Amino acid sequence: MTKRSASREDGAFRDYPGSGPEHDPEPFPNGTATPWPALVGFIGLALLLAAANAAAISSASRGWFLSLARPPGAPTAGMVLAAWAVLSPPSGIAAWLAWRQPGNRRALLLWGWHLLGCAVWMQCFLGLRLPGVGLLAALALLAVTNATVVSFAHLRRLACLMLLPALCWTCYALYITAGVWWLNRG
């Protein structure tokens, strides 16, 4: 029996300030006592991936993107990178909210695939300068992001809502990628 469990069962340590059951945090379904380090971890992971993507895309790739015929409403490459950085914290918070719910394994696996899909799309499209491959990656990313949103909705509505901007941006990224591929295929 641990010292902490003894204080709950027989009150042996109730005279020490901050040691009684009223001061013990309630564990979350995943067994942790406090969710805050995990929140920092989820947001940090999403931001780290966005930063790694931005660092991997050279200025030459940004110039290449601007030299292409682009569909109406297409942003600059820098704006694409900035958008993913802005979408990363809400994505991390959404994953954290899903993580706090029981039965979260499938949703979090999908979120991981979503992050990987973001990196693959950006590297194929901007890093390798392959719009056709980027289009396939964008289609896969859209499917995974949609599945992630639906999976989060089953766990917690707010997690789903926080991921909706990423789904909208993914649709826009698919439009940009398809437009660039179509306008520059010859």
**pLDDT tens profile 113-136:** 999 999 999 999 988 999 999 999
Is the same domain home to 70 and 13? no
Is the same domain home to 125 and 79? yes
Q: Is the pLDDT of residue 149 over 90?
A: yes
Question: Contact, 157 vs 55, CB < 8 A?
Answer: no
| Range(s) of the domain holding residue 67 | 36-183
Q: Is the pLDDT of residue 102 over 70?
A: yes
Gap between the Cα atoms of 109 and 119, Å rounded: 16
Is the same domain home to 64 and 26? no
Residue 126 CB contacts under 8 Å (≥ 6 apart), including other chains: 57, 61, 62, 65, 77, 80, 134
The answer to which of 26-30, 51-55, 59-63 has the lowest mean pLDDT is: 26-30
Predicted model pTM: 0.79
Counting the structural domains of the chain, the total is: 2
Question: Contact, 124 vs 77, CB < 8 A?
Answer: no
pLDDT of residue 28: 54
Is the same domain home to 142 and 56? yes
> How much is the average pLDDT of 128-150?
97
Is the same domain home to 86 and 166? yes
pLDDT of residue 31: 56
Q: Is the pLDDT of residue 32 over 60?
A: no
What mean pLDDT is reported for the chain? 84
Cα 103 from chain centroid (whole Å): 19
First to last CA, the chain: 73
Is the same domain home to 74 and 135? yes
Is the same domain home to 57 and 103? yes
Is the same domain home to 161 and 172? yes
Is the same domain home to 96 and 158? yes
CATH number at 161 reads 1.20.1260.100
Work out the pLDDT band at 34, boundaries 50, 70, 90: low
Name the more confident of 15 and 67: 67
Is the same domain home to 151 and 83? yes
Gap between the Cα atoms of 123 and 31, Å rounded: 37
The 3-state secondary structure of the chain reads: CCHHHHHHHHCCCCCCCCCCCCCCCCCCCCCCCCCHHHHHHHHHHHHHHHHHHHHHCCHHHHHHHHHCCCCCCCCCHHHHHHHHHHHHHHHHHHHHHHHCCCCCHHHHHHHHHHHHHHHHHHHHHHHCCCHHHHHHHHHHHHHHHHHHHHHHHHHCHHHHHHHHHHHHHHHHHHHHHHHHHHHCCC
State the burial class of residue 82 (Cβ atoms within 10 Å of its Cβ: 0-12, 13-18, 19+).
Answer: middle
Q: Is the pLDDT of residue 5 over 80?
A: no
Name the more confident of 23 and 80: 80
pLDDT of residue 178: 97
Is the same domain home to 57 and 136? yes
Is the same domain home to 11 and 55? no
Gap between the Cα atoms of 91 and 162, Å rounded: 7
**pLDDT tens profile 60-97:** 788 898 899 999 999 887 888 888 889 999 999 999 99
Work out the pLDDT band at 18, boundaries 50, 70, 90: very low
